Amino acid sequence: MNMASETLFAALANTTRLRCLVLLLEYGELCVCELTHATGAAQPNISRHLGQLREAGLVTDRREGLWIHYRVALGLPGWVIDVLQDTAKGVQGTVPFSDDLAALQAMPNRPGAPRCA
């Protein structure tokens, strides 16, 4: 898979998209409701940004019942993975990224429960 550098950096330039990518790198796979809960953003906003990340080739999705789960796309070029991992490491422990992780860890009714929060 090829990816133009401007595609990656345009995706990373938006805070909501970057926050979602950092969470996905940490957890592997998350549903829209988890990303909404963690970031405090409205569901349509998160879904729109996830759609943009999907169009850029950075994430993939799968449906499971009521939930749509996202993950970082497999097969990304090594340099893209390096940039994503280095970025996640660089923002680790800083607000809003640390707040997102804490909120997700405290989230009640995570997927797999009868209802998502």
- The structural domains of the chain, with segments of one domain joined by +, span 5-105
Task: Tell me yes or no: is domain 5-105 CATH 1.10.3720.10.
Answer: no
Has residue 52 got a pLDDT over 60?
yes
DSSP code string of the chain: ----HHHHHHHHTSHHHHHHHHHHHHHSEEEHHHHHHHH---HHHHHHHHHHHHHTTSEEEEEETTEEEEEEPTT--HHHHHHHHHHHHHHTTSTTHHHHHHHHHT-SS-BTBSS--
* pLDDT range class, residue 112, cuts 50, 70, 90: low
Tell me what the mean pLDDT of segment 94-104 comes to. 97
Mean pLDDT of 80-102: 97
